[in-house]
Amino acid sequence: MAELTSKERIQKFFKKEPIDTMPVFSGMGTVVIQAVNEMGVKFAQVHTTAELLAGSAIKSSEMCGLDAVVIPYDMATVAQAVGRGLTLYENSPDILYPTVPNKWETLEAVDIPTDFMKRARMPMVDEAFKILLKDGRFAVGAWQLGPFTLAGQIIELGLLLKGAKKNKEAVEAFLTKMTDIVIESIKHYESLGVDFLNIREMGSGTDLLSPKMWNQLIQPNLTRIFSALKTPAVLHICGSTDLIVPMMNQCGADALSFDQKNTITKTRTAVGNDVIVLGNFDPYGTMVQMENPADVETVVKKCIDDGVDAVWPGCDLWPDVKMDNIKAWVNTTREYGRKPSPAIKRL
Number of other CB atoms surrounding residue 4 within 10 Å: 19
Nearer to another protein, 209 or 275 (CB): 209
Nearer to another protein, 4 or 164 (CB): 164
- Closest approach, Cβ 3 to another protein, in A, equals 34
- Closest approach, Cβ 213 to another protein, in A, equals 7
Nearer to another protein, 164 or 275 (CB): 164
What residues have CB less than 8 Å from 299, skipping those under 6 apart?
A: 281, 286, 290
Nearer to another protein, 4 or 88 (CB): 88
Report how far residue 17's alpha carbon sits from residue 8's, in angstroms, rounded to the nearest whole number: 10
Nearer to another protein, 92 or 273 (CB): 92
Which residue from 157, 144, 311 is spatially nearest to 235, judged by alpha carbons?
144
- DSSP per residue over 243-308, as a string? GGHHHHHTS--SEEEE-TTS-HHHHHHHH-SSSEEEEEE-HIIIIII-S-HHHHHHHHHHHHHHT-
- Closest approach, Cβ 207 to another protein, in A, equals 5
What residues have CB less than 8 Å from 51, skipping those under 6 apart?
A: 128, 131
Nearer to another protein, 134 or 165 (CB): 165
Report how far residue 332's alpha carbon sits from residue 276's, in angstroms, rounded to the nearest whole number: 20
- Closest approach, Cβ 110 to another protein, in A, equals 17
Task: Return residues touching another protein (CB under 8 A).
Answer: 87, 89, 92, 94-97, 99-101, 103, 157-158, 161-162, 164-166, 206-210, 213, 238-240, 243, 283-285, 289, 315-316, 318, 320
- Closest approach, Cβ 90 to another protein, in A, equals 13
Nearer to another protein, 40 or 93 (CB): 93
97 half-sphere exposure, CB direction, 13 A CA radius: 16
- Closest approach, Cβ 340 to another protein, in A, equals 32
16 half-sphere exposure, CB direction, 13 A CA radius: 10
Give the helix/strand (H/E) hosting 141.
Answer: strand 139-145
| Angle formed at CA 254 by CA 265 and CA 32, multiple of 5 degrees | 80
Nearer to another protein, 19 or 217 (CB): 217
Amino acid at 119: R
- Closest approach, Cβ 102 to another protein, in A, equals 10
- Closest approach, Cβ 114 to another protein, in A, equals 26
3-class state of residue 219 by DSSP:
helix
| Angle formed at CA 5 by CA 4 and CA 11, multiple of 5 degrees | 85
